[in-house]
């Protein structure tokens, strides 16, 4: 493994992944789960890792959390090499996976006490921390029930609490809100925001809930078939890929669609009944032109709405096709 320690030490990035590959070999098949994957993630944010089922997200998270070894390539988490400095990485991270699973006949209180001992938390601090987390995530009511008897959402809450036990600086959250009801998922998202905004933590989040990613993350990477397809801020990706905004008009009378097509930045215009949808690469310019038309030509517009393309639309387009971007 070639790693330029001096070069990597001078950066503030919380995570640096360089040329990471992971191949699973079994008698029946060989799977390239990660292919020459490189990525740098700044600290103090919730970074979104998106990709379809089987894209390689969990494989990557597991390597970064020192659960799996890479086949080749290097990665540093908070400056520590994930292969050589596993103990240092583990002290400073928390890992939560969707469908969290623990010893089935232990209770949530016993499970967290067990992990607290593994983290060498002194007894009084351990109890205080567990009380605090159980209170935050509403676990107190079932803290003495056997894990096997808990609902999916209750189990997931225990998983999230466990990942925060050692007050880690870096959190790996692999589909953390899987199985949580709407209210609890909202509380968990609010808690993640507080962890980043108030406590300066860094979270690497994977989720198939794109609205969740859009709400929490300003920066994302999309992975497909083990390869990075795109990375950057959601707004930059939207701009670079030329995803048009949609301007929806409600009209009351005749409208010459060709006049609308000639406005600034317009790429397409469609009418369905009293609704006209204008696609534009710059909604601002188009809306300014439209305002002029409404005033001067008495264009019969009774309502207008501007909608940015959603992350879902971008994602579908990015992972469709050959998957290599």
Ligand X SMILES: Nc1ncnc2c1ncn2[C@@H]1O[C@H](COP(=O)(O)OP(=O)(O)OP(=O)(O)O)[C@@H](O)[C@H]1O
Q: Between residues 59 and 113, which has the closer beta carbon with respect to Mg ion?
A: 59
Q: How far is the CB of 59 from ligand X (least distance, A)?
A: 3
Query: Using CA atoms, how far apart are residues 87 and 169, in angstroms rounded to an integer?
Result: 15
Q: Does 178 bind Mg ion (CB under 5 A)?
A: no
Per partner kind, with CB cut-offs from 5 to 8 A, the member of Mg ion, ligand X, none near residue 51 is ligand X
Q: Between residues 51 and 79, which has the closer beta carbon with respect to ligand X?
A: 51
Q: Between residues 58 and 156, which has the closer beta carbon with respect to Mg ion?
A: 58
Q: Between residues 148 and 324, which has the closer beta carbon with respect to ligand X?
A: 324
Q: How far is the CB of 21 from ligand X (least distance, A)?
A: 12
Q: Does 224 bind Mg ion (CB under 5 A)?
A: no
Per partner kind, with CB cut-offs from 5 to 8 A, the member of Mg ion, ligand X, none near residue 286 is none
Q: Between residues 51 and 108, which has the closer beta carbon with respect to ligand X?
A: 51
Helical segments of the chain, H only: 5-9, 57-64, 86-92, 108-118, 123-136, 152-164, 182-197, 210-216, 234-240, 257-261, 283-296, 311-319
Per partner kind, with CB cut-offs from 5 to 8 A, the member of ligand X, Mg ion, none near residue 59 is ligand X
Sorted by sequence, the CB contacts under 8 Å of residue 303 that are 6+ apart come out as 249, 250
Closest of 167, 246, 150 to residue 201, by C-alpha:
167
Give the full edge-to-edge strand order of the sheet including 170-174: 93-97, 170-174, 202-206, 46-50, 219-224, 227-233
Per partner kind, with CB cut-offs from 5 to 8 A, the member of ligand X, Mg ion, none near residue 53 is ligand X
Query: Using CA atoms, how far apart are residues 266 and 246, in angstroms rounded to an integer?
Result: 10
Closest of 323, 325, 281 to residue 306, by C-alpha:
281
Query: Using CA atoms, how far apart are residues 275 and 203, in angstroms rounded to an integer?
Result: 42
Q: Between residues 61 and 287, which has the closer beta carbon with respect to ligand X?
A: 61
DSSP state letters, 97-153 = ETT----TTS-HHHHHHHHHHHTT--HHHHHHHHHHHHHHTT-GGGTTS-GGGS-HH
Q: How far is the CB of 96 from Mg ion (least distance, A)?
A: 12
Q: How far is the CB of 98 from Mg ion (least distance, A)?
A: 7
Q: Are 177 and 207 in contact (CB under 8 A)?
A: yes
Q: Does 58 bind Mg ion (CB under 5 A)?
A: yes
Query: Using CA atoms, how far apart are residues 76 and 79, in angstroms rounded to an integer?
Result: 5
Q: How far is the CB of 33 from ligand X (least distance, A)?
A: 3
Binding site for ligand X (CB under 6 A): 24, 26, 31, 33, 51, 53-59
Per partner kind, with CB cut-offs from 5 to 8 A, the member of Mg ion, ligand X, none near residue 284 is none
Per partner kind, with CB cut-offs from 5 to 8 A, the member of ligand X, Mg ion, none near residue 56 is ligand X
Q: Does 66 bind Mg ion (CB under 5 A)?
A: no
Q: How far is the CB of 46 from Mg ion (least distance, A)?
A: 17
Q: How far is the CB of 1 from ligand X (least distance, A)?
A: 21
């Amino acid at each position: 493994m070639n790693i330029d320690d001096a070069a990597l030490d001078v950066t503030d990035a919380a995570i640096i992944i360089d040329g990471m590959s992971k191949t699973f070999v079994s008698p029946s098949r060989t799977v390239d789960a990660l292919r020459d994957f490189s990525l740098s993630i700044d600290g103090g944010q919730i970074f979104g890792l998106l990709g379809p089922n089987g894209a390689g997200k969990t494989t990557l998270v597991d390597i970064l959390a020192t659960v799996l070894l890479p086949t080749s390539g290097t990665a540093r988490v908070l400056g520590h090499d994930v292969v050589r400095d596993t103990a240092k990485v583990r002290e400073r991270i928390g890992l939560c996976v969707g469908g969290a699973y623990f010893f089935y006949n232990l209770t949530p209180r016993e499970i967290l006490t067990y992990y607290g001992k593994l983290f060498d938390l002194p007894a009084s601090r351990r109890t205080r921390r567990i009380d605090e987390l159980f209170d935050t995530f509403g676990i107190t009511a079932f803290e003495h029930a056997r894990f096997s008897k808990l609902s999916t959402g209750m189990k997931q809450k225990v998983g999230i609490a466990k990942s925060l036990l050692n007050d880690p600086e870096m959190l790996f959250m692999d589909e953390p809100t899987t199985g949580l009801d709407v209210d609890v998922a909202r509380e968990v998202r609010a808690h993640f925001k507080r962890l980043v905004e108030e406590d300066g933590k860094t979270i690497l989040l994977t989720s198939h809930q794109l609205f969740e990613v859009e709400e929490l993350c300003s920066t994302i990477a999309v992975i497909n078939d083990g390869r990075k397809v795109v990375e950057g801020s959601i707004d930059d990706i939207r701009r670079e890929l030329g995803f048009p905004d949609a301007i929806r008009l409600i009209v009351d009378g005749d409208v010459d669609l060709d006049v609308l097509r000639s406005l600034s930045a317009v790429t397409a215009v469609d009418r369905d009944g009293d609704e006209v949808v204008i696609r534009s690469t710059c909604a601002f310019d188009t809306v300014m032109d439209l305002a002029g038309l409404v005033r001067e030509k008495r264009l019969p517009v009774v309502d207008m709405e501007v909608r940015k393309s959603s992350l879902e639309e971008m994602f579908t387009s990015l992972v469709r096709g050959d998957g290599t971007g």
